Structure formats: structure tokens, C-alpha cells
Structure 1
Amino acid sequence: MTLGAVVIGRNEGERLKACLTSLVPLCRRVVYVDSGSSDDSTTFARDLGITVVELDPAAPFSAAKARNAGFQALLAGGPIDLVQFVDGDCVVMAEWLKAGAAALAENPQLGLVTGWRSERYPQASVYNAMCEVEWHRPAGEISTCGGDMMVRTQAFTAIGGFNPAVIAAEDDEFCLRLGKAGWRLQRLPVSMTLHDAAMSRFGQWWKRSVRNGHGFAQLGDMHPPHLQRERLRVWLYGPILPLVFLLGYFTTPWLSLLALSAYALSFTKTARDLNRKGLGRSLAIKQAAFLTLSKLPNLLGMLTYYRRSWAGRDMRIIEYK
């Protein structure tokens, strides 16, 4: 089966160069879609002989829009059976492309396969280390996955590709529609990509958490009850418990104690679970603290989505790097 690749990026610099270099020798055709980069991304890609698509900066960017544009450019070069989608901050493993293509060739019911993503520099910061934990998911049948995926062209076309209005968790939304259309999705026990989160500052982590909250709310509107548990946790630990604490502070002190106890219980359980998964005690405690705090930026992201939706405004991307 013929395999092509679509890479999306914006100011990824050396990360993009590593990504494209890992794909060119292994795919029949590669398309790079750029979302308004100010670095030399497009020049480097063209020098490799890669087809480059530059999105119109007059319209809001989104990963979904970029992937759709890349898919169309790929097909314009001739028929293709399978498409590997990958973010420009990832290096693709050669063994993955062979394994993914083989799985799709063997099982015509599979519309999508993904593999294991790992963080390239997990020791660089606690934020990178949190991504490494986030990427660890069991192999087998799945309902959703991240943006690194190999998709059957027939399946992609059948559901109309990605929804360009979704600016966070657009990959989840795509997968949900794929499953509803009758296609199977599978995560293979094969290393797929090395991701470089490049997060070294608290502000980056905060913005990424805001983006996650936006995704919780938007997908909740589009595909209820998907991510319902995540939204409920945000409402509980975001506005409700702080309000209970303040109410208790001015009226009944035990209410404040109850709110603090809920945070302490959540933190302790999260730290214990991370420790059981193999994280050292110190790192588990740090990550548990950030995960407990994340409900606040998640709440801001959810409220941002609701405000945009009610006002009929465009859903614009939330960048963290």
C-alpha cells in the first residue's frame, strides 16, 4: 500500500528539521503545512523536495485546518492509500511506518492506527516529564488518540477529514467521528514518535492547560458525554471548592476545612498513583501538585470556549510555545 505523510508546524525550528528528515527517506510523498512561521521552516522543507502549503494568515489557524490542507495537497500528487499525520515537533520512527502500514493492509476494517509516543527530553523539566506520563497509553482497541496517526485514505475521505473549527483536541473529535462511522481504531505496541514538548517555563504549561480546558468544553458540546468526567472535575476543583472555602471563611469554618481536605485528598491520591506507575516520590509529588493546580487554567479554557461560542466568535488557537 502506498504511504504519504502530512506534517504540520509553526516556528518549530530544529524540531521540524528533525521531523522532516526522519520522513523523507521512508514515504513516497511528504507535504509540510505551515501556519504562519517566521523562521526558515518553509525554505528548509522546499530544499528537501517536500511540497509546502502555507495557510492564509487572514483566516484563523488550526491544526485541523492544516491537516486537511495537507491531505488535499498529498492527493493532488496522485493516489495514496495511507497517510501518516504527524506534528512538526516529533521525529517518526522507521519501524513504526512499516508496522502501521502492515496493520492497515492486513485488516480492512481498521480506519486508523497509532503507536506509542515518547517524550524526547523528559528530564529537561517537570513539564516535559508530565508529557512523558501523559503519552503512556495501553495498546489495543481505542476510541481516540493524539495527532500522530496513520489513517486510511478511504476512511479520511468518508468522514470529511478534520473539523477546522476545533482548535484543541481536534484529533479526539476526528477519531470519535471515525468510530461512529463504523471504522475500528487501534494502538499498536510499537514506538511511533519522539516528541519534543520544549516546555521550560510555568507560563507555557499554564497556556497548554488552558488549551486542554478549551478542548474539554468544545468536545463536550459536540460529542456528549465524551470527556464528561474531566469537565466535572474542572467544575469541582475550579470554581466550586474555592467558593465553598470562601463561604466557610466568612460563615462556618468547617466548610473551609472540607474544601481544603478535598484538594489534599485529590493531591495525595494522584501522587500515590503516579508513584505506583514508576515515578520517583519527588517527581510524583511535583506532578501531582501541577495536576491539582491544572483545574484552574482548565477552567479558564472552558470559559473561553463558552464565551466564544455564545458570542459567535472564531475559535482561535491557543499556543504554548
Structure 2
Amino acid sequence: MTRLAHVGVVAIGRNEGERLRRCLESVRHLADQVVYVDSGSTDHSVSMARKLGVECIELDLSIPFTAARARNAGWRRLLELAPEIRWVQFVDGDCEVVTGWLEQAQEFLAAHPKAAAVCGQRRERHPERSVYNQLCHLEWAKPPGLLKSFGGDVMLRREALEQVGGYRDDLIAGEEPELSVRIRSQGWELHALPAEMTLHDAAMTRFRQWWLRIVRSGYAYAAGRHLHGGPPERHCVRETWRTWVWALGPPAMAAALWPWMSIWALLVLGVYPLQVLRLYLRLPGPPRDRRLQATFHTLGRFPELVGHLQFWRDQMLGRRARLIEYK
């Protein structure tokens, strides 16, 4: 199997087990160099990666873990080991890189000098196992073309990555969109291709897992607005307003009306099923998928609000954020 010249891979993970094995097996014979960064696994992840011949970094336990910190440690070590690397593929340890993706991504970046990043389509490995996996599967779809932001699986041009200094180590969520903002501010472009990129294994089977994942998204929106919410970017402004309006607006109105007009208070809360209907009518796809997305998008405003409140609590107390994990 021919290795791709000037392509390196950074995989990050924590207690991913066999998912990590699939991840590393999918890239270790293709890239010039592969680096795995471990954030305090208690399973056999590190020893398994080393047996596969992959360079491993175990992050210092005394410093709070973040995916951003792990990715930064990974790409910097990658360039120490292989200074000739021009393209860096980042992949989460619960994802398997699809055959042919690295070649397509490298060719695209080589042919488009203004492109700093390219990603393809991430698919869920087992969407049929739970409604939460199915929601992830629907969420991953990206229309091909120019992007405002990319996710955890992406190939980045080394020059752009070094120009902006990489990810923000202190962000516990939303580090990829935040990096996207800074890269675009330097005149670079971000692109999505229709090609398959990775298979993801969310392994979400419980409502609590879904709830915590959306709490993390809410935290990311609040942090993103705090950092880049001003013009011209106005990063995450729409998302944060949407959360506050839908999570607090109707309940506040209902509470205010209840002592005098309880019937009207109940009618106000009827805006939620109407919102589900509105989203159902607007979303594409088969009816089951539309019902699922419309229901959980509406419900998701509440855990998003929890994430917002956690972010502002951390800001007011001046304390370092702690990871919000759903696995």
C-alpha cells in the first residue's frame, strides 16, 4: 500500500477501545506519520496504539483535558517527527477514515491554494441502534461547497494551521468553529466535498447522553459568542438568541399569566408543539426523520440553555471549565 507524501494524521481519544483500533488501522499504512494523543484513558488505548506502531502522546494529567489541547499537542509533535508534512488530517478516535478520503482531500488542497481546510461527509456507523444515533447521522450531512466552519474530522493545510497558532487549548467545546473563524479572517477558504470521509460511532443509547451532548453544544455557542460575537463575524449570535428566546420566553410568559389567566398560560405553552410542526414542514427528508429532528431540535433549546448558564457561571467565578462528556 502506497503512503501519501506530505500527509500526516492526528487522532485523539479517551477510552475508545476497539473504535480507536478501527480508527488507527484506517490510516496507519497511508500517511507519512500518525500521532495518537490520549486524554487519560483507563483502558488499553495507549498500549494498543503503540502495538500498531503509532506514535503516542499521553497528556499531562495535572492540566485539564480538552480536545483542542490534544489536537495541538498532536500536530506539533507530528511536525517534529516529519517536518515535511504539508497536510494534517485530524480525526476523532471514535471515527474510521474511509478508504480514498486522504487522497481526495490532499488532491483538493493541492489544487486549491486558497483552501485552508477540506472535509467530506461524516456518517454514523449504526444509526439504527437508537434515535440518538440517528439524530447524529442526520446532523453530520454537509452540503458541498464553501463552509463557515468545520468539525473534528478535517484535513488542514499546515501553513494555515501555523499561521493562526492552532486551536484554543482552553475551550472545552466549539474549538473547531472558533478555529474556523480565525482561519477565515486571514483570507482562507473552507470547503466541503460530497465524498465520504469518516464513519462515526456515537454509541448513544440513553436520553441522558443526548442531553449532555446538547448541554455541551450550548456551552460552545455561549463561548463562541463571547469570543467572536461582535461584527463583522457575529459568531454564534443567532444560536444564542434562539436558545434564550425559545427556552425562556414561553415559560416566562406562562408563569406571568398563570395567576390571572391560567387558560391563556397553557395556550402560550402550545407554541412548542406548533414549533415542532413548523420545523417538520420545513425540513427535508422522509417523515420519520423530519418528526425526529423537529421534536429534538425543539426540546434541545433547554439543554442548550443549561450549557449557556454553565458558561456564564464559569466566567463570573473565573474558573476553568470542566469537560462535559456524554460517553
CA distance in 2, matches of 1:69, 1:86: 14
Name the TM-score, length of structure 1 as normaliser: 0.96
2:26 partner amino acid = S
Contact 1:247 1:255 in 2 (8 A): no
1:194 alignment partner, one of 193, 199, 203: 199
Deviations 1:215-274 (A, max 9, x none): 010001111121222111210121221111122221233642452232122111122334
Q: TM-score of the superposition, structure 2-length normalised? A: 0.94
> How far apart, CA to CA, are the structure 2 residues paired with 1:273 and 1:198?
29
**Contact preservation (8 Å) 2:215, 2:305:** yes
1:282-316 per-position Cα deviation (integer Å, ceiling 9, x unaligned)? x4323322221111111010100001011111122
Asked whether 1:82 is paired with 2:91, we answer no
2:76 equivalent in structure 1: 72
* Cα distance in 2, alignment partners of residues 4 and 74 from structure 1: 7
How much does 1:128 deviate? 0.5
Query: Which deviates further from its counterpart, 260-269 or 114-123?
Result: 260-269
| Kept in 2: contact 1:120–1:196 (CA 8 A) | yes
Q: Could you tell me which amino acid in structure 1 is paired with residue 97 of structure 2?
A: V
- The alpha-carbon deviation at position 153 of structure 1 amounts to 0.8
Are 2:318 and 1:309 aligned? no
Residue identity matched to 1:36? G
- In structure 1, what is the equivalent of residue 237 of structure 2? 228
Match of 2:147 among 136, 142, 148: 142
Map of 1:203 onto structure 2: 208
Which residue of structure 2 lines up, in the alignment, with residue 279 of structure 1? 286
Determine if the alignment matches structure 1 residue 165 to structure 2 residue 174. Answer: no
Counterparts of 2:216 and 2:275, CA distance in 1: 22
Per the alignment, in what secondary structure is the counterpart of residue 250 of structure 1?
coil
Structure 1, gaps ≥5 residues long: none
> Structure 2 counterpart of 1:220, which letter?
R
Which residue number corresponds to residue 299 of structure 1?
305
User: Within 2, Cα distance between the matches of 1:66 and 1:279?
Assistant: 38
Instruction: Confirm or deny: 8 A CA contact 2:33 2:82 kept in the other structure.
Output: no
User: Pairwise mapping of residues 58-69 of structure 1 onto structure 2 (< 5 A)?
Assistant: 58-69=62-73
Q: CA deviation at 1:279?
A: 2.8
Corresponding residue for residue 13 of structure 1? 17
Report the secondary structure of 1:60's partner residue. coil
Per the TM alignment, residue 114 of structure 1 is displaced from its structure 2 partner at its CA by 0.8
Match in the other structure for 2:186: 181
1:32 maps to: 36
Aligned to 1:41: 45
Aligned counterpart, 2:120: 115
Q: After superposition, what is the alpha-carbon deviation per residue over 1:164-187, rounded to whole angstroms, capped at 9, x for unaligned? A: 111111100011100001111111
**Is 122-131 or 247-256 further displaced after alignment?**
247-256
Moved more, 58-67 or 251-260: 251-260
Deviation string 1:72-99 (CA, Å, 9 cap, x unpaired) is 1101102111100000010001211111
1:155 aligns with 2:155: no
Aligned mates of 2:132, 2:98 — CA distance in 1 = 23
Q: For residue 256 of structure 1, what is the aligned residue in structure 2?
A: 265
Distance 1:102 1:261 in 2: 52
1:319 corresponds, among 310, 315, 325, to 325
Partners of 1:32 and 1:138 lie apart in 2 by 30
CA RMSD of aligned residues (A): 1.3
Q: 2:7 corresponds to which residue?
A: 3
SS at match of 1:308: helix
Gaps of 5+ in 2: none
- Per the alignment, residue 129 of structure 1 pairs with 134
* 2:248 pairs with 1:239: yes
